[in-house]
Amino acid sequence: MKPDDLSVSIIIPVHNGGSHFRKCLDSIKASKIPPKEILVLVDGAVDESSAIAREFATKVLEVSVPMGPARGRNLAASSATGAILLFVDADVMIPPDTIGLIVEAFKGNPRLSAVFGSYDDLPYERNFLSQYKNLFHHYIHQTSNEEASTFWTGCGAIRRYVFMEMGGFDEGYRYPCIEDVELGYRLKRSGSQISLLKSLQVKHLKRWEAFSLIKTDVFCRAVPWSQLILQEGYLPHDLNFKAKSRACVVLIEFLVLFLIGSFQFVWLLIPSILLASVLFWLNRDLYCFFHEKRGFFFMLQSIPWHWLYYLYSGGALATVFSLHKARSILVRYSPREIL
């Protein structure tokens, strides 16, 4: 590899990608700067994903039994030849200047190990929860530190030699989860520099419904991320873990307790109203953003969902920490230790 080589290999794992997958590949085809290669790992798909991949990709790898995106990306990366690995989700459309933005970021900072972007503010699906979820993601990334403490594979790039030195993604994450976040933690621990490139904004094609949103937030994000925090002993001060967000988690838990208690003691409605007012004030910038983008009624709909997000995320974090503490106590006072 030449020292000035900034060629890009795009890697996409896909499982039953359908029409969204075709849109993803169409957007890559429209890139102003073409990638060196496109590698697709068809992960146990039973739809037309393999045929679609062969229309666009330089190399198509197929496995009959799903192995998960972490292992799939590692397998595809082992066959890549570009100096930069650009990971793209199969339900994402990238803008035509994506590769140019990424190459310029690496060219301008030789010490930079990885970059990633965010979703744009024009989600593909028009239903409320798809708009809310993706706009929330956009807002969080666009208001976070450019010197990042994690990584994101929705649209994220890393120098290939750094990726190989780090051992790739942790294949212990069997399903789409926080394998990208975990890699980001290892990158930061090794002293690598990661940048959140706010000008890099991609379109998310996924449709969110109530069940899929809560299930993903709790079991694919909150629970495994809490376990990772315990494992690493590190709680970042960025993205969803800013001091304000932590305070809101505590406030929402008390708000729920006071509201439940108000059925017995009506006077608890007074602190409930105060807590609700503080929650609204602390998140006023986000709600103003929702109002600016989608109007007053969209903002009103967003508030209970946002507070619910704080409730189940905080609940997941508390549950994981409590189980860890209980396990530690049981181990410490096990019969073997007593004897």
d(Cα 8, Cα 85) in Å, to the nearest integer?
6
**pLDDT exceeds cutoff 70 at 222:** yes
Predicted local confidence at residue 75, as pLDDT: 96
**pLDDT exceeds cutoff 60 at 265:** yes
What integer is the mean pLDDT of 132-147? 95
| DSSP letters for 90-154 | TTEE--TTHHHHHHHHHHH-TTEEEEEEEE-SS-S--SHHHHHHHHHHHHHHHTS-SB-SS--SS
| CATH 3.90.550.10 boundaries in the chain | 8-208
d(Cα 123, Cα 20) in Å, to the nearest integer?
13
At residue 86 the predicted structure's pLDDT band, cuts being 50, 70 and 90, is: very high
Predicted local confidence at residue 336, as pLDDT: 53
Which superfamily does 8-208 belong to? Spore Coat Polysaccharide Biosynthesis Protein SpsA; Chain A (3.90.550.10)
**pLDDT exceeds cutoff 50 at 142:** yes
Residue partners of 233: CB distance under 8 A and separation at least 6: none
- Percent of residues, the chain, with pLDDT higher than 90: 77
Predicted local confidence at residue 234, as pLDDT: 67
d(Cα 173, Cα 41) in Å, to the nearest integer?
17
**pLDDT exceeds cutoff 70 at 238:** no
Predicted local confidence at residue 323, as pLDDT: 81
pTM for this entry? 0.91
DSSP annotation of 197 reads E
Predicted local confidence at residue 1, as pLDDT: 47
d(Cα 181, Cα 149) in Å, to the nearest integer?
9
At residue 233 the predicted structure's pLDDT band, cuts being 50, 70 and 90, is: confident
Which tops the pLDDT comparison, 184 or 5?
A: 184
